[in-house]
Amino acid sequence: MRNVDVSVVIPSYNSEKTIEKALDSIVNQKTKYNFEVLIIDDGSFDNTIDIVKNYAKNYDNIYLFFQRHKFQAEARNLGIEYANGEYLMFADADDQYSEGYIDIMMKSIKNKKLVISGIQKDFSNGKVEIEKNSILEKSNNNNQLIGNYLTKNKEMDVGLWNKIFRLDIIKKNNIMMINENYFEDSLFILKYLLNIDFDDINYISNPGYILNKHIGSTTNSYDPSLLIKCESYIEKVYDIICDNSSLKSYFNAFKARTYLFYIHRSILNNPLWNKEKQKEIINRINLNDAIKNLSIKYSAAIVFAYIFPEKYIKVYSQKNKTF
């Protein structure tokens, strides 16, 4: 077993155009902590494997593992299985760590069980967005932590890559990715949060994880199975929290957020989307109950989308047409 402080797991699949930049940002980290980089290749058929093999020859803390094309969730599970560090971090093959990121994260997790950092989102059209403050930081108890996570989250809250976890908590509680390749990050983090306390988390505003957002990626293209995936996610969350009556009060708000996510994706990516389909989706939500635990922003959005569906489609489409 390797003597490692933190393991960094990176799934790769046909990543020849980005993997070098990602690895350079990690191997050039200046830190006193020992870290290993586990690249789990998911059946690449470009030059990704050759590129990573070359890095593995030159750096004794880079390891390459292979799996048949089982998708990203299984690749991450394999990384968790092979990880030797006391702590665990993730990265995607088309993103980067900023200078000193590992050192900052390791120092911040002392006496804690989770660290959440800010993120920098670089869009392929040149736009840059920064998220520094997690909504979870406003939690004053465990139930509020989960409620905020389910109903008020931002991208920095639900992503794996801007966090450092304790590997023993993951393995002790068998916290693994569910291989449906959508919402697996969110479910993983939800299960982890349920196994720690609200004051076990350290929050740092440093946007040390650089997230590259590609126009035309899977999140910006039409997916005919998206509704099935959203409803599967809703069911899985219900199964996880249904035994806690205090958490069930957040469920309808979470359900509304998830359906609103589906509506937004459909407005942008489904050319057949219309007001009738939109109202049918919103009718699946108990609006009166949902808005009790939604922010004003999302409460207003979902009511507007229901009462004025045609206008909402037009306004949302125009507002987001550059993305």
pLDDT at 242 over 70: yes
Tally of domains in the chain: 2
**Which pLDDT score, from 0 to 100, does residue 219 have?**
57
Kindly state whether residues 130 and 18 are assigned to the same domain: yes
What tokens does 118 get? 């800010």
The model's pTM is: 0.94
Q: Which residues contact 59 (CB under 8 A, 6 or more apart)?
A: 27, 37
CA–CA separation, 261 and 227 (whole Å): 10
pLDDT (average), residues 42-51: 96
pLDDT (average), residues 137-157: 97
Determine the structural domain holding residue 141 and report its residue range: 6-214
Chain centroid to CA 237: how far?
15
Q: Which residues contact 134 (CB under 8 A, 6 or more apart)?
A: 116, 154, 156, 157, 203
Kindly state whether residues 204 and 245 are assigned to the same domain: no
pLDDT at 322 over 70: no
pLDDT at 218 over 50: no
Q: Which residues contact 51 (CB under 8 A, 6 or more apart)?
A: 16, 19, 20
Kindly state whether residues 19 and 127 are assigned to the same domain: yes
Kindly state whether residues 11 and 160 are assigned to the same domain: yes
Query: Confidence class of residue 220 from pLDDT cuts 50, 70 and 90?
Result: low
57-61, 182-186, 249-253, 316-320: which is most confident: 57-61
Q: Which residues contact 131 (CB under 8 A, 6 or more apart)?
A: 118, 119, 121, 154, 155, 156, 207
Kindly state whether residues 49 and 186 are assigned to the same domain: yes
Q: For residue 242, count other CB atoms closer than 10 A to its CB.
A: 11
